[in-house]
Structure formats: C-alpha cells, structure tokens
Amino acid sequence: DGGITQSPKYLFRKEGQNVTLSCEQNLNHDAMYWYRQDPGQGLRLIYYSQIVNDFQKGDIAEGYSVSREKKESFPLTVTSAQKNPTAFYLCASSIGFDREQFFGPGTRLTVL
Amino acid sequence: AQSVTQLDSQVPVFEEAPVELRCNYSSSVSVYLFWYVQYPNQGLQLLLKYLSGSTLVKGINGFEAEFNKSQTSFHLRKPSVHISDTAEYFCAVKGQTGANNLFFGTGTRLTVIP
C-alpha cells in the first residue's frame, strides 16, 4: 500500500537533546512538508521541500533542521535551540507543490 | 498570503441531526480550498477539495461543502451525522498563484452526542 510513514509514534527526550523524526513516503511525490500542531492553533508549517536536495523554511523554522537527500525521505531534527518542542509533528507530501497534501500519522514529541 | 477563520472551536450535535462547520478565508488571489478530518492521535485525512468548476463539492463519508466566492466561505455540511463523525475538522486554503503554501484554520471539534 502506498502511503506516508512516520516513526516513532511517541518520542520522549530530555531537555537539551537533539532528536530526529522520520518521515518516509512511497507515493513518488516530489514535495514534502513538516507541520507542527499545538492545541487550539491548527497546523503551522516548519519546512517544505519541492524537490530532492532543496528545502525552504516555513513559518516557524527556528530551532529545526531538515534534509532531503532522497525523494522518499524528509527527516526533521528538533534541536536544543527550539524553546518549546513538545508538540504533535505531522509530515505530508504532494505530487507537486500546487496539489493537495497527504498526511502521515504523526509523531508526538514530549520533552521532559 | 492567505488566512482561514474557523469561528466555531467546538460544535456538539445529536446523532442523526444535520451539522454545518463554518470556514471563511481571506486571499488577494484565487484559491483552492480543502477540508481535512483528524481523529485522535492520527494524521489528517482529506475530506474534500475545491479546485475549480462546480461550487458544490461532495466528499467522503457523506460530507459536502459549498464554495461561495462573494462571501469568501467554504462551509462543510452533513445532513445526518453519526457517532463516528466525532473528530477535529480543519479548513485549509492555498493560493492559485504566488507562494502557494497551504494555510490551515485552527480547527473545529465536532462531538456527536448519542
């Protein structure tokens, strides 16, 4: 089955540690995205990538980093510079940047 | 840039009753519009989309939405809800030109009461 996988589903980290969230898709989509979801705030765009080896900052990129070395993969690193990293993180992909987005199941990150 | 307003953060409704979830948008260019549903601790699933053509759009699970350009609205409706429709619903907008990121509303929590 084609789809988007995110791992792990739940992640706990100590304050000050970097952590990497995985996102993989087998839909052959060119564009991939990372969103952060907080209660009552909807989804906010962290980073997006339209093609391999290229990515752009979204609205709340500070404290995050990404890479896009393969079409299928778009990992997100939450660095120690992110002041409030506890949130639900959603990865999405689309055929092209102007097409509808399909979402993975999400990773809930809790920083202790 | 675009923005979306979902005025109702929570909507309780009895089972088999009709429901309307409101969505208004702001944009200086023509737009594409979407409704997504999110069940607890899951990702978002596309319910329906308006790209062009007929302003009445039908989606999955018996939902439909109507694009009203003059009122800049894209309200979601269902004539008879089920317990399984209890979820969070997000309206989203994307400009057809320019830096066409997808902008989300803050969501409406639909609770169906038995």
Q: Does A103 touch chain B (CB under 8 A)?
A: yes
Residue corresponding to tokens 């990150």: A109
Least confident of A62-76, A95-109, B5-19: A95-109
Q: What angle do CA B75, B30, A74 make, to 5 degrees?
A: 85
pLDDT digits (tens, 9 = 90+) for B26-75: 988 888 999 999 998 888 999 999 988 899 999 999 999 999 999 999 99
Phi and psi at residue A80, in whole multiples of 5°? Answer: -65, -15
Which secondary-structure segment (H or E) carries A10?
strand A10-13
Q: Which residues of B67-98 are buried (b: 16+ CB within 10 A; e: fewer)?
A: beeeebbbbbebeebeeebbbbbbbbbbbeee
Interface of A with B in 7-26 (CB under 8 A): 9
> How far is the alpha carbon of B17 from chain A, nearest alpha carbon, in Å?
26
What is the structure's pLDDT at B101?
A: 81
How many other CB atoms are found less than 10 A from the CB of residue B45?
15
Is B100's pLDDT higher than 80?
no
What is the structure's pLDDT at A87?
A: 95
Q: What angle do CA B8, B10, B15 make, to 5 degrees?
A: 115
> How far is the alpha carbon of B9 from chain A, nearest alpha carbon, in Å?
8
How many other CB atoms are found less than 10 A from the CB of residue A96?
9
What is the structure's pLDDT at B85?
A: 97
